[in-house]
Structures are given as C-alpha cells and as structure tokens.
Amino acid sequence: MPLGLGRRKKASPLVENEEAEPIRAGLNVPGLDGLDGGGVGLSEGATQEGLPPPPTNLRPRLIFHTQLAHGSPTGRIEGFSNVRELYAKIGEAFGIPPAEVMFCTLNTHKVDMDKLLGGQIGLEDFIFAHVKGQRKEVEVFKGEDALGLTITDNGAGYAFIKRIREGSIIHQIQVINVGDMIESINGQILIGCRHYEVAKMLKELPKGKNFVLKLVEPLKAFDMISQRTGGRSGSGVQLGTGRGTLRLRSKGPATVEELPSAFEEKAIEKVDDLLESYMGIRDSELAATMVELGKDKKNPDEFAEALDETLGDFAFPDEFVFDVWGAIGDAKVGRV
C-alpha cells in the first residue's frame, strides 16, 4: 500500500512558513527514582493514561537559579509546571510582570539561540531571563520571496527572530536583530500567535511592496554584542550541565529522564533540518516527538499512521514523511 493512502489530512497550519521552534510545559514527576541519572520534562497531562498526576507534596523539590540577562541578583525559583508558570515565578523573584519576560537562555546571559530554553533543561542549568527592552518600528521592502528570517516562539504567546540569513533582505537592515520579538505586522497584533502563524504571514506578504514590522528587542547588558545572524539550531550543543534533564513537552507528563542517546540527538537534528527545509520552521520538540514515534516502527506506513494519530493537525505531506523516516533510519545506522 502506498504511503499515506487513505490518510486523513487536516488543513495544515504550517504551509511554507519562514521558520520556527517552541517551548512547552507541565511539571509532573512520577516519583523520586532516577533523579540522579535523569531529567524532568515540562508538559501537561497525567503520569499514565487514566491516572491523575501525583499530589504536589509528593513531587521532588526542584530548585533552579535564575538571573535577569541584563543583570540582576540571583533568584531561586521552584514549583512551576509550565512555561507561563515559569515566567510567573521569574516575575515574582524580581518584582516584574511575567509578561515582560520574552524568552530564557540556559547558562549564558547573551542572546545565544543555541542556548535557548527549549526541549529540555538540565537539572543544574542556570536560567537567564531576557526581558523587554526598546521598541522599534521598521518599514521593509519585500524585494524577494524569502525574507531570510527564522521565527521561533517562547510557548507563552511571543514570537521572535531566531536567525537571520546572511545576505538576505532582513540582514541588510541593521536595526533588526536576533532576539527581537515581532509585536505586529502591518498593524496586526501578533501577541498570542505561534511561530508558524507568524512565519506564514511573513511568507504571504506580497512581493514588491513595503510592510511595517513593530519589534521589541531584549534588554541587553553592556557587554552583549548584538547578534546579526544567530546560531544554528540543532547544532548538537548539550544544554544540560548536570546528569539529568528537564524535558519539555506539549502533551503528557513532565518526567525525569536520562540524557538523550547519541542516536536520538542525531535523529532529532536531522528531522529538525527537514522541518526547516519542507515547512520553513524549526521546532526541536516537534522533531523529538517525531523521532519517538518513528524509532520503533517497522515501516513508513506504520510511522505515517502514528503521525496522523498524534500530530494530525500538521497534515505532513507524504514526501516529507518518507524523508523523516529515512532520516531516523540513517541516524540508527550512523550515516551522516
């Protein structure tokens, strides 16, 4: 049977986005066992199907240290179960509204997109919160189909620039930088939109016309040099400094886990690259979910069915599913 024959497809929210990657959430640790050798994931849901999460007083007490990226004393935060709650805890620690937090990086105060808080947090990672700084309005002439932007989001309603391709339209505009939050396009407010929605809007802007971006840049320390192009996502940088990781998920419980295997890291990187080339987005958690769904499947049809059941809203094209299946297989046997 051909791959995808009879697959139920929904309208794709991804259509040719410029790019992306998110953060997820819900802290729910099944038990104390494995803390030394595992990590914890933020997500939503029960520990097992049909079972409620354990009471808060039975969960391990996980305390993280944090600072504001532009400079602050060190704060201690705990008891958050998702990204919005994490930002609320940061707000409480420093006396700022949670909505001021744009995104977080791990173990660096710089706007380093390779260290963006995303799929997992090491149990000993230090969290740096980047807050809103200067607002700016920029008029851009779209002289080419592609603007050269990579869009990501923080999982709490803000989409921002993750990467700027050298030589692109945006690269020529010096006031636009990696880390800038996209507040509106031509007056349409984007607060609450996901990365793929913002990227789709940018993609659909008419060629040969001007458009207006309203941006908010992160507040920077004096030693932070503006990053023009941004780091390459999926570069294999291990964010965790401890033995365990805090795994971030969009669905399911938060779990203390072992560090990803070499196969999983390589497969996630390959799938994330395919998401960028096919869909115009980057999303390391989505890539990790696809690897989990595909690593034990016997053939691409089983993999396609699993994708439809779990990620049916994305309506991935069949050729993309074939390539993802191949990428997972290549990672298993160690092919580059």
Buried-state track 107-142, b at ≥16 Cβ within 10 A, e below 16:
eebbbbbbbbbbbbbbbebbbbbbbbbeeeeeebeb
The number of angstroms, rounded, from the C-alpha of 213 to the middle of its chain's C-alpha atoms is 22
pLDDT in tens, 25-59: 334 333 333 333 344 455 433 334 455 555 555 55
The total number of structural domains in the chain stands at 2
In the block, tokens 């039975």 appear at 58
71 and 208 part of one domain: yes
Token readout for 45 is 């849901």
CATH number of the domain encompassing residue 90: 2.30.42.10
3-state secondary structure 135-170: EEEEEEECCCCCCCEEEEECCCCCEEEEEECCCCCH
264 and 126 part of one domain: no
Provide φ and ψ at 24, rounded to 5°: -125, -170
161 and 102 part of one domain: yes
| pTM confidence score | 0.69
What pLDDT is stored for residue 224 in this prediction? Answer: 58
pLDDT in tens, 225-276: 445 555 444 333 333 444 566 665 555 445 556 666 889 889 999 998 888 7
Point out the domain boundary residue: 200, 218, 236: 218
Closest C-alpha to 38, from 127, 121, 126, 128: 121
87 and 183 part of one domain: yes
Contact in structure between 76 and 283 (CB atoms under 8 Å) = no
Range of the domain at 304: 260-333
CA distances (Å), 163 to each of 52, 232, 273, in order? Answer: 40, 8, 14
State the Cα–Cα distance between residues 267 and 257, nearest whole angstrom.
18
What pLDDT is stored for residue 93 in this prediction? Answer: 96
Q: Which residues of the chain have pLDDT under 50?
A: 1-2, 4-6, 8-40, 43-49, 225-226, 231-242, 252-253
Please list the residues that pair with 136 across neighbouring strands: 215
In a domain, 24, yes or no: no
Token readout for 35 is 């803390």
